[in-house]
Structure formats: C-alpha cells, structure tokens
A = this chain, B = another copy of it.
Amino acid sequence: MMIRSHLGDCRWTETPVLGYKQDGTTSFRDITKQILFEGAQMHFQWRYFEVAPGGYSSLERHEHEHAVMVVRGAGRVLLQDAVYDIGHYDLILVPPMTWHQFQPTGDEPLGFLCIVNAERDRPQLPTAADLELLRQHPAVAAFIKV
C-alpha cells in the first residue's frame, strides 16, 4: 500500500514489530524494530527502533553511518567517548566507526527513526580491550550496558 496509517504509539498498519537481532551474536535488551521503508530501488533502509524502559541497544560500531531522529520518548546516547541527552525530534549522526548505544530515560520507551545505506557492513562488537578503553571515561563506564 502507498499509505500506511499510524495506529498510535509508533505502530503502523502492515508493519510488523520485529525482535531485534535474534541471532544471539550481540547483547541488547527490550528492543524492537520495524522496517518502515525498503525496496529494490531504494538505496537506503528506513527503520524504527524502540527501546523499552530499562532496555538498551547493542553497543557496536561499523563503517556505515546512522542518521537518527527521536520520535518517541527521551533518552541518552553514547557516541564514542561521551554520553548525550536526546529528546523529541532531536537529530543524531553516528559517524563511521563510532561506538554507540541508545538507552531510554523515564517511564516511556525511547523510539527513533534510523536510516542506513541499503548496502552496509556488519556491526562490530567491542572486545575486552575495547571495553577497557571505553571505560576509561567515567561517564561512559557508568552508562554502557553489555
């Protein structure tokens, strides 16, 4: 269908709510994914991710960029060596090879749009040495969940 209606709370007609990375290769909690747009002629994929209170996205990095807009709730994001507050309609660019993790704050889920290139590399997870480096920043050490 050319139009998919918003049903409220970031659910849409004809748009399944998917579990996130159910292949067991990464660490995350209480997060769902919806693919809003993709297609053979599209050079991008438009996704919606939602992290429930207490949950977190996987801590990862990759060569491809993430273009992100918050559309539900509020939260914090790790970008390499600092943690930032993010709220409604804020825009976040995750540059290449930048460690990142999203977490909600408060009682509402954190929901965000995330656009990526259709062709992209696979995420990398932190090694023990990577985690040690990240944790040298106290604010990062207090934030990250793996």
Contacts and interface: CB of A to CB of B under 8 A. Distances in A.
Contact of A93 (B37, B79, B84): B37
A29 to B, nearest CB: 24
Interface residues of A, number: 42
A67 interface: yes
A2 B119 CA distance: 22
Interface in A107-146: 113, 115, 117-119
Most B C-beta atoms less than 10 A away, residue of A1, A71, A88, A91: A91
Interface string A77-91: 101000010111111
A37 B67 contact: yes
Contacts of A98: 2
Contacts of A19: none
Interface stretch (A5-13, A20-28, A50-58): A5-13
Contact of A89 (B6, B42, B118): B6
Interface string A90-109: 11111110100000000000
B44 A44 contact: yes
A144 B84 CA distance: 45
A46 B71 contact: no
Q: Which of A42, A65, A95 has the most C-beta atoms of chain B within 10 angstroms of its own C-beta?
A: A42
Given A10-B89, A43-B117, 9 more contacts: A1-B93, A3-B84, A3-B86, A3-B90, A4-B90, A37-B67, A42-B67, A69-B113, A71-B89
